[in-house]
Amino acid sequence: MRWKKISEPLNEKVEELSRILAVPKIIASLLLQRGIKDFDTAKHFFRPEWSHLYDPLLMQDMEAAVLRIQKAIKDGEAVMIFGDYDVDGTTSVALVSTYLKDKIEKLRPYVPDRYSEGYGISKKGIDEAQADGISLIIALDCGIKAIEQVKYANELGIDFIICDHHLPGTEIPKAVAVLDPKRNDCSYPFKELCGCGIGFKLIQAIQNKLGLPDSELKSYLDLVAIAIAADIVPMVDENRILTFLGLKQLKEHPRPGLTLFLKDLKHSLNVTDLIFVIAPRINAAGRMNQGLNAVELLMSNNNESALPIARSIEFFNTERKTTEERITKEALQQIKLNQEIQNNSSVVFHPSWHKGVIGIVASRLIEHYYRPTVVLTKSEDVISGSVRSVSGFDVYNALDACKDSIIQFGGHKYAAGLTMNLNQLDEFKLAFETYTKNHILPEQREPSLTYDLDISFSDLNFKLLRIINQMSPFGPKNIRPVFVTHQCRDFGGSRSVGNDKTHLRLDIIDSMGNRFSGIGFGLGNYISEVKKKKPFSVLYTLEENQYNGNTNLQLKIKNLKF
């Protein structure tokens, strides 16, 4: 693995910020790397508050969206809340539906079926809205490119409000309102909200127009935090404020639908738990069954109604994991057999693979073979698939170059979906491999890890960790600080641990003789090199370890270099 260091700020700036904030120079460096340059930005960073959120009416079309919803409330219209089947979509539907259910008598949450309808606004959903007498559809986390669908709805007398965060095309749908900060004509100060974040700004605007207190909206912030974490949007600016407040809400007042998933946590809830505990379970509903189950779970306001749904989702998540593991093994075997033909990309296919997990399988395959990957399965009379990429390589462009071998495709630089005819598979494999071979750069062929600073173990202490923890919530563009210490040696106690000896317990000293211990999950194979007593570098984050009633600092090791 390549290690890439984030550019270090100038020493005079580090010293100045260290003095102004009365923090160690290491903290000042970390803050400058994250764009925190003075007292005021540091105060906003360390103390996120509701008052730091932007006025929702700054978003293009927000006024029109609020007026149209107010009309629906006044006239007693029937309204559909339509959202995608992933975490961002289902949390969005739950959020807006919960907010409006006391204001609109006939309200229908709707999540399309992953298999029969696919991603985005579906004709079936619009037809069901018409049959239900619905005159307004609020679409969340989708719709920015639904030109034909919105036109079709308009012909049926159904209005649309679109709340999306994906990049618009050259044409904007002819909806009553299109809320998307990425619109060229939108001057909203923050462009990186997720779909649920935009849904939240919508209810914030309605709340303000109705003259109701903002404090009533705090109960929705947990849903926004889950969506932000799961959608891997930048953890900066408004996203960081919403996540900070949402985590607080989750800790103090967890909604009944999530308590079953969080009951075994032994530590204070953090963003990692949102990504690896809550999000996979919400996603499992849409992958293995119906996304609407997740909406019902998130809207449940008592344990009696929530528990049966949570148990069924837990079952689907277990089934998802088993299915994903089996398909990953089968796909790895295919790759092994095709190594001579394909060694720049991976394209695997089996007609029986479960469509709901092939995107996860593609990501798992990249962990084994670091290269652009396509996982395909049969879907009715065509082949459909998920595409995942490696850092820096644009798979959307790759698919565009292979469009003669595809029926249709969509997505973005690092993740996409596609469909093709059965007789196009061999042609596509060759075209995708050829494009990858000709366009992938040498540095895109191996994974890399980014780190902040080179330091000595003598710099590590509880005060440093306390301040680092206050830099949370962590996520893209505000990653938990990563350090490197060079010239380390085994002090004698390093060993491989775990039932199958796959993990590494380090007992090491640096060049100054400072001793530290650390744990490296999945790094047990490094033990023979460590024991050679040769110097090596350690890349790690700092964490607190509690054992037998004692608390100490330890390194959470990400990689070693000899």
What tens digit of pLDDT does each residue of 449-478 get? 999 999 999 999 999 999 999 999 999 999
**CATH number of the domain to which 82 belongs:** 3.90.1640.30
- Say if residue 508 is in the same domain as residue 545: yes
- Say if residue 414 is in the same domain as residue 503: no
331 falls within a domain: no
277 falls within a domain: yes
- Say if residue 76 is in the same domain as residue 218: yes
| 408 closest CA partner among 433, 430, 434, 387 | 387
- Say if residue 474 is in the same domain as residue 431: no
For residue 156, is it left (φ>0), alpha (ψ between -120 and 50) or beta? alpha
Listed as ranges, residues in the chain with pLDDT below 70 are none
Query: In sequence order, what are the residues at sequence separation of 6 or more whose Cβ sits closer than 8 angstroms to the Cβ of residue 555?
Result: 506, 516, 517, 518, 519, 538, 540, 541, 542, 543
**Host domain of residue 360:** 338-445
Domain count within the chain: 3
Q: Which of 310, 328, 354 is the last residue in one of the domains?
A: 310
39 falls within a domain: no
Q: What does the block give as tokens for 349?
A: 């296919």
Q: Give 378's strand partners.
A: 383
Q: pTM value? A: 0.91
Q: Give the model's pLDDT for residue 341.
A: 74
- Say if residue 154 is in the same domain as residue 65: yes
Q: Which of 397, 424, 445 is the last residue in one of the domains?
A: 445
- Say if residue 535 is in the same domain as residue 408: no
Instruction: Give the amino acid at 469.
Output: N
**CATH number of the domain to which 526 belongs:** 2.40.50.460
Q: Give the model's pLDDT for residue 456.
A: 96
413 falls within a domain: yes
Q: What does the block give as tokens for 489?
A: 């040696």
CB 286 within 8 A of CB 112: no
- Say if residue 113 is in the same domain as residue 252: yes
Q: Determine how β-strand 503-509 pairs with β-strand 448-451.
A: unpaired
Q: Give the model's pLDDT for residue 338.
A: 82
Q: Determine how β-strand 415-420 pairs with β-strand 408-411.
A: antiparallel
425 falls within a domain: yes
Q: Give the model's pLDDT for residue 148.
A: 96
104 falls within a domain: yes
504 falls within a domain: yes
13 falls within a domain: no
- Say if residue 279 is in the same domain as residue 353: no
What tens digit of pLDDT does each residue of 267-318 get?
889 999 999 999 999 999 988 878 899 999 999 999 999 999 999 999 999 9
The CA–CA distances, whole Å, from 173 to 53, 128, 152 equal: 28, 20, 11
Q: Which of 445, 464, 488 is the last residue in one of the domains?
A: 445
Residue 540: exposure state from Cβ atoms within 10 A (0-12, 13-18, ≥19): buried
For residues 190 and 136, what is the distance between their CA atoms, to the nearest angstrom?
27
For residues 166 and 121, what is the distance between their CA atoms, to the nearest angstrom?
14
> Residue 533 CB: number of other CB atoms within 10 A?
8
- Say if residue 379 is in the same domain as residue 508: no
- Say if residue 110 is in the same domain as residue 190: yes
Q: Give the model's pLDDT for residue 184.
A: 95
- Say if residue 347 is in the same domain as residue 401: yes
- Say if residue 521 is in the same domain as residue 542: yes
> Residue 443 CB: number of other CB atoms within 10 A?
11
